[in-house]
Amino acid sequence: MSKPTQWIVGVNAVASSIDNDAENVREVLVEAGAKNPRLVEIEENARRKGIDVRKVNEQALSGVAGSTRHQGVAARYVAAKTYSENELQGLVEAAEGKALLLVLDEVQDPHNLGACLRSAAAAGATAVVIPKDKSASVNATVRKVSAGAADRIPVVAVTNLSRCLKDLQKQGVWIYGLAGEASGSLYSVDLRGNVALVMGGEADGMRRLTRENCDALVKIPMPGDIESLNVSVAAGVSLFEAVRQRLG
């Protein structure tokens, strides 16, 4: 059975997919007669890597791009598998009391998401949970930064993150939110059972409802003169504290 595909559009997005993940690019559409030298580069690079290239008119590109500005190029790309909320329950059950979840509340930078996925896969996490809206999606950049982890660890996109956290609590998962102003330390909590570690987005951290649905807020002690860590660094530190406890 062939893998599902999706269209990605725009010079930077298509160029990135060809540069970083050519084996998952099925074909490239380039606007016929376009004078942009970047389009010539993309076409030549795609052909060099054995990717089918078709010259099409602007109407054809608009048809696959929808409301997104296509800039004269589009690529049909193998879509990364995402898991549904219903499947998350099964993943937790299969972990038999040792589920380790990373929850990302509106992480919008694909480089950060990719780095988080890489750390989660290295830590043997059960799944990474992201909101469907206002979150980076698993695109070519994420796949590149994750070093293949994006296709190995379940990524669960949920409609309502607060409701998802409540459902996880009903399954016996303890929810710990990372917040710099918290009084408790990450190193003082037991991370050996069913645990979800929640990280806020780059701009505003965790949203209010996300915070309210955590069992506790904890912080990573930082004796240096820095207020906060990059979300991907904080995720790595937190995940591997859980690994340390579980292996200890």
CA dihedral sign, ordered 151, 20, 10, 201: positive
Domain 85-247 top-level CATH class: alpha beta
Confidence class for position 3, pLDDT limits 50, 70, 90: confident
pLDDT at 1 over 70: no
Distance CA 157, CA 127 (A): 10
User: Which sequence spans correspond to the domains of the chain?
Assistant: 5-78, 85-247
- % of the chain residues with pLDDT over 70: 99
CA distances from 79 to 12, 108, 140 (A): 18, 18, 10
DSSP 171: T
Angle at 129 between CA 67 and CA 193, to 5 degrees: 180
Residues facing 55 on adjacent strands: 30
- Which tokens hold the place of 23? 């084996």
> What is the pTM assigned to this prediction?
0.81
Topology of domain 5-78, CATH: 60s Ribosomal Protein L30; Chain: A; (3.30.1330)
